[in-house]
A and B are shown apart, each in its own frame.
Chain A
Amino acid sequence: MQFFDLLSQNEQFLLFSALKVLGVFLVVLPMVGASVLAERRVSAWIQDRIGPNRVGPLGLLQPLADGVKTMLKEDFTPNHVRKAYFWLAPAITVIPAFLTLAVIPFGSQLGSQKMVIADLNVGILYTFGIVSLGVYGIVLAGYSSNSKYPFLGSIRASAQMISYEIAMGMSVVPLFMLVESLNLSEVIAYQAGGAWLVFKQPLAFVIFLIAAFAETNRLPFDLPESETELVGGYHTEYSSMKFLLFFLGEYANMIASSAMMVTLFFGGWTLPVMGLDAPATSILGGLAHVGIFIGKIGLLMGLFIWVRWMLPRFRYDQLMDLGWTRFIPLALANILVTAVVLWVIH
């Protein structure tokens, strides 16, 4: 501990922030692996198959084998692509997914450190800003591939993601009217004691959840890559490590939006039993809070996977119709009703 006392306030802040960033990476990357495995096993159960069970006990090492296999494949760049954007696109897809995790409080406290990388007072706006940049990766991938299927996929993706971002952004406005702050730590503090916002704003949650499916390009809204008509959509021309980055980005996006939903609607790291609502005083309590947060994310990821294998894909006009003529008016009405109720109460 003497070593820490020698450091200035600034240096301690930098050191702990770096540690937190490293910690988040070390937790999220294995989570991606675990969700890929879960996806394959769950899909197998749903379709009455067995699924991958050969690599390691119960097939637990399968993600490792998949990762190594993908990396060792030939990294092929077709002749007809626009090289600079072709290389840039996978990176632009992955980076926003991880940047959103920076403002999410993934635990209460470990020692004297708050378990959030950046406690911004505009946390939610930051997240939406970064999420809205995620679409560039897909658009550039389709554009740079210079062939028709990726192009169609990326055109679909940009229209779909912009449309659902509006519904998503509007759906959370009532939450912040209730909480009276944009800071995610304060959103969690408001929900302590079991007053989870999913019970107060069920409509907002439903809109947010469905918009999250559209934003992460998951079935039933995976039109940008729908393999039956577009071969694979925006990543048709990609192979090896670059393809892996798109894959990683998709799952990291799912984890980020699950984490967002846990924070906004399911009380974040709190649990209304055994005094787990208050910030932890011991290291063990702090770890328990991080564990609760990861557990809640796991449940929502399960929902993502379950839905993917239960529902058929939407048609493109149905998707746009749902976004613009159903969800946006509903979200607006929800804002209005919440405002009136708050006005009557006060």
Chain B
Amino acid sequence: MTTQDVFFYVFSLLTLVCGALVVLNPFSRNPVTSAMFLVLTIVSMAGLFVLLHAFFLAAVQILVYAGAVMVLFLFVIMLLDIKEEQRRRIKTFGLVAGGASVAAIVGIFAYSLFQSKLGPASPAPLVAGATRPLGELLFSRYLLPFEMLSILLLVAMVGVILLSKKDLK
């Protein structure tokens, strides 16, 4: 087992364990704890990206999700009254629905994994870590999806502003 393999297993284990602790923490029902475990999950996923030589993705993952989105989550959790959340029991319906969707996703992944032919053990990265080729790909081959995502984000942004305005003139 090479050093890379060791790191891969460490990071994947961290991702899975922390991800589970976000929703299913036996020691605490505190939303802040869940949020902090979600941060750890995100950071360990960034570690997995680094192992794939996707440095740009890793940096952006930490910058956007861990650094901005999760801080806003914490902000909101701290501002809201969280005592009710802490007291609430886990609902059966939520448990069943969650379990079913996880099973469905695992099924889809397993199906596509067994359907596809496996490549060489460590293929050359499609876009070696550098930012320039990634940008060039985004603005040539993947321009349409990229622009569509931008419009989607814009729509979400307008929607948020509309919802957060108390009185529209």
Contacts and interface: CB of A to CB of B under 8 A. Distances in A.
Nearest to B56: A122
A281 interface: no
A133 B62 contact: yes
Interface in A156-178: 158-159, 161-162, 165
B68 A132 contact: yes
Interface of A: 85, 120-122, 125-126, 128-133, 135-136, 139-140, 143, 151, 154-155, 158-159, 161-162, 165, 182
Chain B contact surface mostly: helix
B25 interface: no
Contacts of A133: 62, 66-67
Given A128-B63, A133-B67, A121 B129 contact: yes
Given A132-B62, A132-B67, A158 B131 contact: no
Contacts of A121: 55, 129-131
B63 A143 contact: no
Interface of B: 32, 36, 39, 55-56, 59-60, 62-63, 66-68, 71-72, 74-75, 78-79, 129-131
17 contacts: A85-B32, A121-B131, A122-B55, A122-B59, A129-B59, A129-B66, A129-B67, A131-B67, A132-B71, A133-B66, A136-B71, A139-B74, A140-B36, A162-B68, A162-B72, A165-B67, A165-B68
Nearest to A131: B67
A182 B55 CA distance: 12
A161 B75 CA distance: 12
A89 to B, nearest CB: 11
A129 B61 CA distance: 8
Given A132-B66, A133-B66, A165-B67, A159 B75 contact: yes
Given A121-B129, A126-B55, A136-B71, 8 more contacts: A85-B32, A126-B59, A129-B66, A135-B71, A139-B74, A158-B75, A162-B68, A162-B72
A129 B72 contact: no
Contact of B78 (A122, A131, A132, A151): A151
Given A143-B78, A155-B75, A125 B63 contact: yes
Nearest to B70: A136
Contacts of B74: 136, 139, 143, 158
A18 to B, nearest CB: 16
Contacts of B56: 122, 125
Nearest to A144: B32
A125 B72 contact: no
Nearest to A85: B32
Contacts of B66: 129, 132-133
A283 to B, nearest CB: 32
A128 B58 CA distance: 12
Contacts of A126: 55, 59
Contacts of A143: 32, 74, 78
A132 B71 CA distance: 9
Contact of A139 (B63, B71, B130): B71
A324 B45 CA distance: 31
A158 B78 CA distance: 11
Nearest to B55: A122
B98 to A, nearest CB: 27
Nearest to A159: B75
B142 to A, nearest CB: 20
Contacts of A139: 71, 74-75, 78
Contact of A129 (B36, B62, B129, B130): B62
